[in-house]
Amino acid sequence: MSHKNISRRTMLRGACGAAMALPWLEAMGTAAPMITSANSTIARKAAAGPPVRMAFLYVPNGMHMQDWTPSGNSETKFELQKIMQPIADFRDQMNVFTGLTLDGAFAHGDGGGDHARSVASFLTGSHPKKTNGNDIRNGQSVDQVAAERIGHLTRLKSLELGTQDSAQAGQCDSGYSCLYTSNISWRTERSPLAKEINPASVFDRLFGDDDGPQLDPRSMARRERDRKSVLDFVQQEAKILSNNLGVEDKRKLEEYMYAVRDIERRLASTEKLDENERDVPDAPRPVGVPAEYGEHVKLLFDMMTLAFQTDSTRIISFMYSNAGSNRPYKNLSIKDGHHNISHHGGSREKQAKISTINHYHVTLLRHLLTRMSNVREGGGSLLDNCMVVYGSGIADGNSHTHKDLPICMFGGGGGTVKTGRHLRLKSGTPLTNLYRSMLERVGAPVDKFSDSNGIVNLS
């Protein structure tokens, strides 16, 4: 394995079906050529280095907008408010958008159900059919548009993650199927993609051997009993590879393997949620998932980082909770359900609690951004080669409004996104315009997506 010709798909393989994808190394050369688009400058620039990835992070029940929207009238000279203070260090690597609208989430004559519509529309831009039966209809989501076009370049077309299971049936919001409230990723207008909520299962997907022999039940039991690290299985190949790498790539490989072992240790030691736990009355989590919500989110964010770092996938969606989640946040001394207090009715006490929950979610986001920024890749970081959208399909949870949404994006899109800005767009600008701009940068350009009527200029 000469450092001049290491394939992007090189994997370290070991006994018992263990396999490890590698992080992007200088020895692998440039990323696969991007699909050309109308804006060939963007395509060429993104194709010159590591692959460009995108992730979509959804938070439920809207935002306390007074503590979200940056102050100041300048695009580049703005002040972050309380909710985004935990990520102030990433101010120069983010764009905050004001004016984006999710038209598909409005009632359009269908009455109640804003929470269901806000989730179903968030990545599709579509207006879901109001039904709790089998005749669901929504639209293809932006992540799956990308997966259709570039998913063949990676082991996994996409990853769908979250902290609460995706429902298979039932009524959850004013006549809307629970399928709408618990899925943001839709392969087709009738086929939502269920989320994986167990970090250990995600780890197995990333480091299982799709091509080699699979672990038989006896080997799996022995490995679990011995807490054998995947690194122990592949260490011989890793040593051979390291001997053929340059200094910088050796450092990257060492950091990557340290990160994998650290996550394995945390997965092995994490306290599990008791099956009778009822802290989340609307959707209890099964045994095998971390008991503490914050640790659960952080472990899934670590899985996201590894998935991007190893180019196992370039497309990820994540839900902090399902629509209308009534999770209490006892770690914040908030015993009330999140959904209940989002209907604050003007109560200052409830608004303060909503702001505190919003602030906490951003604190968890900081973990992901920190992890990604610490991974060196090309001439910058993994975050520099990503586009991470964070936000909700509802602005104020009390009024259920779907315009001027709380949306921000992190990362440089492989050098194609100008960051450090508060972009004040014309009120009513479709959120799908932003998605069109992102699709172009990952190599999956479209002339129109859902209700888009243009693009958001990110350059």
Condensed to tens digits (0 to 9), the pLDDT of residues 66-88 reads 999 999 989 999 999 999 999 99
Residues linked to residue 410 through DSSP beta bridges, in sequence order: 94, 388
User: 361: Cβ–Cβ under 8 A, 6 or more apart, which residues?
Assistant: 59, 320
Residues 404 and 9: beta-carbon distance below 8 Å:
no
CA 3 to CA 263: how far, in whole Å? 28
pLDDT score of 282? 38
pLDDT score of 68? 98
Higher-scoring residue by pLDDT: 281, 68:
68
- Residue ranges of alpha helices (H) inside 335-400 are 338-342, 348-374
Residues linked to residue 159 through DSSP beta bridges, in sequence order: 316
pTM for the whole structure: 0.83
pLDDT score of 287? 36
Dump the DSSP string for 272-286: BPPTT--SSTTSPPP
Q: What are the tens digits of pLDDT across the range 13-71?
A: 665 556 667 776 776 765 444 444 445 566 556 556 799 999 999 999 999 999 999 99
**Average pLDDT, stretch 227-238?**
68
Residues 350 and 341: beta-carbon distance below 8 Å:
yes
Residues 417 and 97: beta-carbon distance below 8 Å:
no
Q: What share of the chain is helix, strand, coil (3-state, %, to 5)?
A: 40, 15, 45
Quote the DSSP letter at residue 63.
Answer: -
Q: Domain map of the chain by residue range? A: 11-441
- Residue ranges of alpha helices (H) inside 48-126 are 114-122
